[in-house]
Amino acid sequence: MIPGDLKYTKSHEWARIEGDTAVVGITDFAQEQLGDITFVDLPALGAGLTEGAELGSIESVKAASDLYSPVTGEVSAVNEALASEPELVNREPYGRGWLVKVKLAAAPENLLSAGDYEAVAASDH
Amino acid sequence: MPYIPHTPEEVREMLQSVGVANVEELFADIPRELRPASFDLPPGMTEMGVRDRLEALAAKNRIDFVSFLGAGFYDHYVPSAVDALASRGEFYTAYTPYQAEASQGTLQAIFEFQTAVCRLFGMDVANASVYDGGTAIYEALMMAVRQTKRATALICETVSPIYRTMLATFTEKLGLTLTTVPHADGLTDFTAFEAALDSRCAAVVVQNPNFFGAVQDYAALFAKAKSLGALSIASAYPVMASLLATPRSMGADICVAEGQSLGLPLSFGGPYLGVMTCTKELARQMPGRIVGRTADANGRTGYVLTLQAREQHIRRQKATSNICSNQALCALRVLIHLCLLGDEGLRRQALNSVEKAHYAAQRLTAIPGVRLLNDAPFANEFTVVLPGTALESCSNLMRWQYVPGFPLTRYYPGLENALVVCCTEKHRLSDIDTLADMIGALQ
Amino acid sequence: MRTVFEKSRAGREGVWQEKPAASASDFIPAGLLRGREANLPSLSELDVVRHFTRLSRLNFGVDANFYPLGSCTMKYNPKFTEVVANLPGFARLHPLAPQLCVAAKWCQGSLEVIYETERLLCEITGMDAFTLHPMAGAHGELTGALIIAAYHADRGNKKTKILCPDSAHGTNPASAAIAGFEVVSVASRDGIVDPEALAAALDDSVAAVMLTCPNTLGLFERHLPKIVDMIHDAGALLYYDGANLNAILGKMRPGDAGFDVMHVNLHKTFATPHGGGGPGSGPVGVSAALAPYLPISRVVKDEEGLYYLDYDYPKSIGYVAPLYGNFGVILKAYAYILRLGREGLIRVSEQAVLAANYLRVRLESCLDIPYNRICMHEFVASAEKSAQATGVRALDLAKALLDRGHHAPTIYFPLIVKEAVMIEPTETESKDTLDLFVEDLQRIAAQAEHAPEEVKAAPRAMPVGRLDETKAARDMVLTADLAPAR
């Protein structure tokens, strides 16, 4: 499942850009690869993010992986629900399982379209 | 061959199954030029022969003396049941409990160990142990670095110099600036400590009782650290923890300890274990193995290694630590020891030791020219200043089979005459009297 | 089984000492004393003995079960070594005794054990000097990486990277990274290091290459002489991960082959018990050129044959352990080496390799073996085909083996084989045991075809069924007192 209205990274994050804000999450493909997610480590409110740089990390029972920011800007909201319900990322990766909202400081430069990301996900399989 | 069961007939059958004519063919992948230049080892010996040899070596060590040597490694009584239970093959011939269903014994024991040491130090979370008390301080520092994202830390000079020399190796090479705050007459100098504290500091490290034996209140220092965003790390003496205010009650975030005094022999330095405990806020920074409680599909309670995603076999170069083992068998001994003694047993062991140390201090300071280094409260260890050098006194007393304590010369220039004297419940009052008489006779 | 804390009964007497005459507040101000007790259990000695005896019965161990855990060398641990390590002359010696000026004379037995064990390890491995201080394999790797860094720094070399093959143990990259190096993974070809891939990664910035040989697939690095030359020509050092030393005892010595630094796992090759996860011991050996950088202290012997601790090595990396390593473990390994001697150690590698090949050939019919050729002391099979055909994965095979009384092989490692099942029988298992293991695996494989659900439901004969690891990680109940987070 790769929604057509989102932008993607090669490292399996997505961004939904609405005006000067982006909502960021990980893709359905990524959550499936990770398996049951047990913990998400997210930046603090107000933290600065840079496109392609580390955003945080995500842990499942058998894997831990770093998260990379698809956009550059300042964290304007953090999904607090994930602290007690990390499984939301498994259940609704594009919905209630979002990670952070970012107030954009610059337009993202290297994001992929849904079609391009589909090819990336297929080759990572 | 000892421990190799295959008969010549079985070897032939096995070679035939594999389809090779002889064992050497199996090593054909090792190029000729890599074959050993030599393998000049002695011929094998019988079990009796090796035991004779090792008994002869053990006899070359002298243990027939009365020793007041502590300095972080303590000779407390270990109940016989500790050896009996920990030497069960089901425990010591198992490995890391990767297959949880076939390792519930080890896993539940580690879970209980985690619980017991948390209760002892008033903390929430413990791991399954690390190599030793010094490594525990290092790993605690790295937890603070990860948590605060800061790279400097303060350690008091009253923390064991044996650990500080090791910490110097790791911190210097691994990008952490560790500053030592000088002691004042064997005490933590709170004025100097607070002056050195700033908002770049990841952690403060203290030891209670400290290396000189002094017991101090660290609550104000820990509060100051907290106000500047630094974590407080306390290194404790687990036997004395049954009497003393817990590190948590003083505000420590991480409490570590050398666990040897809880049921392990001195054994010339190891194996021991580093105990690591912390508040629940820091649980995810905890390195090493951790056991958690869970259930199977039928709702039966069971235990598994958990939070493993942080570890080296999955995270590889991004792991929280490269440690992949723990001192499980040592942790088991600690747990059994604590269960056999209970609160009352541990408290008696501690208090009997404290009582003897205070008797020793009284006897020694009655000798003209002998004084305590400071007037701070102490538990079972204290520092005396002798009229002559401590090393010389040591050498003299050792001729009479007495080791009066640990001379501080090597680690604390300026304290050439200072000696750290340790008593445990195993000392007889008559031993202490003799010690005092001999030191008196030296003057 | 209830926890030991649930069995506690207030007022029950344990192993208590004499009641002290005084109270703590007679000596220490009340403000420095703890407010309430720790709440350790109150139990009789029999309560404790029974609890831990019952716990022990929930464990598999080498004493009762075949334990073919790949890469862990779960060989038999001779009982007499336990007796030797507990001799009072060793067990009661205080570690600081040698620091008292005349007291090195009181520790001659222990110092001689250290000195002699180092010499034996030098001869076994072909290295020039050893330290016994590292307390586990990973600790040895970190020590080795620090020695490598010191060696290059001393020569003014700017080296920032360590290369590890993709088949390496996870501790290799973790240790190198902790020592401050950038870690670069080198792809394997046909199960071993690909000299071309290595050449592409080797440049001036490479400080060292860490190799396990035989590697984690149980294969000998056939290009080793060429690889050694390439690495040395690039000004880099070679690290030998001794995890698999059991395969080559008396057949190859890392020192002769050109390795500059290595560690040995005494708890694998030299039969000291694994203890449920430790204590181990990871001595580090080096070539003469690297000896000045070894950690202090070092045990030396003077002209009169007396042993003492020497701290005077200005180029040393310093202390990696507070004392002298896990001395009790070192003693057991020393006793084992003396017991087996030259011929015995050679037989160890021969029989370990023969046993692994025997199992490999006998299991060909029921397991897919991706690199199916003569192996060393272990081999890696794959459950990928059955995972795809019937859904029976490596994990399921592992659990089904438990029901038949065998500990499972290592699974899902090395990472370069999908559904990996890594089998290391060791030399101490009889042919009868190996045959029984083969028959049981064949039965499980047959069952996987006609009744896969049965295999996936394993284990059934264990004290608990498969445990919910997700629940454990999410609830984080890490002590009997910590309630679930939510």
Query: Taking a C-beta distance cutoff of 8 angstroms, is the pair C181, C161 a contact?
Result: yes
B371 touches chain A (CB under 8 A): no
Q: What is the CATH number of the domain that holds B412?
A: 3.90.1150.10
Q: What are phi and psi of B162, to 5 degrees?
A: -65, -35
pLDDT score for C485: 44
Residues C297 and C352 in one domain: no
CATH of the domain at C202: 3.40.640.10
- Rounded to whole angstroms, how far apart are CA atoms A86 and B374? 54
Residue A8 has pLDDT above 90, yes or no: yes
**Burial class of residue B428 (count of CB atoms within 10 Å of its CB; 0-12, 13-18, 19+):** exposed
* DSSP helix/strand/coil, C172: helix
Q: Distances in Å between the alpha carbon of B69 and those of A45, B40, B433?
A: 53, 41, 16
Tell me the C-alpha distance between B403 and B365, whole Å: 18
β-bridge pairing C206-212 and C161-165 = parallel
Both tokens assigned to B32: 């000729």
In angstroms, rounded to a whole number, what is the distance separating the alpha carbons of residues B106 and B328? 8
Q: Give the per-residue pLDDT at C455.
A: 97
The CATH number of the domain holding residue A28 is: 2.40.50.100
In a domain, C15, yes or no: no
**CA atoms in the 13 A half-sphere facing the CB of A3:** 15
In this structure, are residues B361 and B430 in contact, taking their beta carbons and an 8 Å threshold? no
Q: Which amino acid is at C216?
A: T
Residues in chain B, total: 443
Q: Are B219 and B241 a contacting pair, CB within 8 Å?
A: no
Whether chain C has a CB inside 8 Å of the CB on A59: the answer is yes
Residue B323's pLDDT band (cuts 50, 70, 90): low
pLDDT at A13 over 70: yes
Q: Which residue of A has its CA nearest to C412?
A: A62
Q: Which of C307, C338, C369 marks a domain boundary?
A: C338
Q: Give the count of domains, chain B.
A: 2
Mean pLDDT value across residues B418-428: 97
First-to-last CA distance in chain A? 14
DSSP state letter for C350: H
pLDDT for res B321: 66
Give the range of the structural domain holding residue B183, as residue numbers without chain letter.
80-337
**Interval C221-270: pLDDT, tens:** 999 999 999 999 999 999 999 999 999 999 999 999 999 999 999 999 99
- Find out whether A118 and A2 touch, Cβ atoms under 8 Å: yes
Q: Say how many domains are in chain A.
A: 1
Chain A positions in Cβ-Cβ contact with residue B315 (cut-off 8 Å): 64
Q: What's the confidence (pLDDT) of residue B300?
A: 96
B123 & B265 share domain: yes
- The verdict on B114 and B100 lying in the same domain is yes
Q: Is B109 part of a structural domain of the chain?
A: yes
Here the ipTM equals: 0.96
Instruction: Tell me: do C127 and C159 sit in the same domain.
Output: yes
pLDDT tens digits, one per residue of B390-415: 999 999 999 899 999 999 999 999 99
pLDDT of residue C37: 93
What pLDDT sits at residue B319?
A: 58
Give percent of chain B with pLDDT exceeding 90.
89
The pLDDT assigned to C167 comes to 85
Distance from CA of A65 to the nearest CA of B (A): 8
| Same structural domain, B88 and B214 | yes
B320 — pLDDT class (breaks 50, 70, 90)? low
Average pLDDT over residues C189-204: 93
**DSSP conformation letters of C380-407:** EEE-HHHHHHT---HHHHHHHHHHTT-P
- The pTM score is 0.95
Contact: C34, B296; criterion CB under 8 Å: no
Closest CA–CA distance from residue C41 to any residue of chain A (Å)? 32
Where is average pLDDT lowest: B318-322, C18-22, C332-336, C409-413? B318-322
Mean predicted confidence (pLDDT) in B54-83: 96
Block residue for tokens 């021969």:
C350
Q: Based on the domain organization, do B401 and B253 belong to the same domain? A: no
Q: How confident is the model at residue B314 (pLDDT cuts 50, 70, 90)?
A: low
B346 pLDDT higher than 80:
yes
Q: Are B81 and C15 in contact (CB under 8 A)?
A: yes
Please tell me the predicted confidence (pLDDT) of residue C171: 86
The partner residue sitting opposite C486, judged by closest CB among A39, A61, A84, is A84
Please report all neighbours of B, defined by 3+ CB atom pairs within 8 A: A, C
**Model confidence over B187-240: pLDDT tens digits?**
999 999 999 999 999 999 999 999 999 999 999 999 999 999 999 999 999 999
Give φ, ψ of C423 to 5 degrees: -115, 125
CA distances to B201, B261, C444 from B228, in Å: 8, 34, 60
| Residues 260-299 of chain B whose Cβ lies under 8 A from any Cβ of chain A | 284
Rounded Cα distance between C363 and A17, Å, is 55
Measured in degrees and rounded to the nearest 5, phi and psi for residue C445 equal: -65, -40
Asked whether residue B172 carries a pLDDT value surpassing 90, the answer given is no
What percentage of chain C carries pLDDT values higher than 70?
98
- Determine the structural domain holding residue A28 and report its residue range: 7-110
Mean pLDDT over residues B299-319, rounded?
A: 74
In a domain, C221, yes or no: yes
Res. C61: pLDDT tops 50: yes
Residue B273 and residue B144 in one domain: yes
Q: How many domains does chain C have?
A: 2
What's the domain range around C371? 341-460
> Tell me, what's the pLDDT at B316?
52
Residue numbers in B near C347 (CB within 8 A)? 1, 4
HSE value, Cβ hemisphere, 13 Å, CA-based, for B115: 24
CA–CA dist C98, C331 (Å, integer): 18
Run of H or E residues at C35: none
How do beta strands C237-242 and C261-264 pair?
Answer: parallel
Please give the Cα distance from A92 to A95 (Å, whole number): 5
Residue C299 lies in a domain: yes
pLDDT at B309: 65
Note whether C103 contacts B100, CB cutoff 8 Å: no
- Kindly report the average pLDDT of chain B as a whole number: 94
- B369 in the same domain as B327: no
For residue C279, whether the previous peptide bond is cis, meaning omega lies within 30 degrees of 0, is yes
User: Omega before C254 cis (within 30°)?
Assistant: no
Element (H, E) at B200: none
pLDDT class of C486 with cuts at 50, 70, 90: very low
Q: In which element (H, E) is residue C163 found? A: strand C161-165
Q: Which chain C residues in 441-470 lie under 8 Å from chain A, judged by CB atoms?
A: 469-470
Alpha-carbon distance of C222 to C216, in angstroms, equals: 14
> What CA–CA distance (Å, rounded) separates C98 from B71?
14
Written as one letter, the residue type at B45 is M
Helices marked H in chain A: 28-34, 81-84, 88-91, 114-124
Q: Is residue A33 part of a domain?
A: yes
CA torsion sign, B67 to B70 to B74 to B77?
A: positive
Residue C115 and residue C160 in one domain: yes
Q: What is the mean pLDDT of chain C?
A: 95
DSSP-derived secondary structure letter, A112 = B
- Structural domain ending residue among the three candidates C338, C365, C393: C338
Residue recorded with tokens 């490995």: B95
pLDDT value of residue A109? 85
d(CA C3, CA A40): 31
pLDDT band at A64 (very low <50, low <70, confident <90, very high): confident
Backbone region of residue C300 per phi and psi (left: phi > 0; alpha: psi in -120 to 50; beta: other values): beta
pLDDT at position B442 is 86
C387-401 per-residue burial string, b: 16 or more CB within 10 A, e: under 16: beebebbbbbbbbbb
Averaged pLDDT, C126-146: 96
B50 touches chain C (CB under 8 A): yes
Please, what's the largest Cα pairwise distance for chain C?
Answer: 76
pLDDT at B164: 97
Digit-coded pLDDT (tens) for C277-317? 999 999 999 999 999 999 999 999 999 999 999 999 999 99
Using CB atoms, which chains have 3+ pairs under 8 A with A?
B, C
Residue B318 touches partner A, C-beta closer than 8 Å: yes
In this prediction, residue C323 carries a pLDDT of: 95
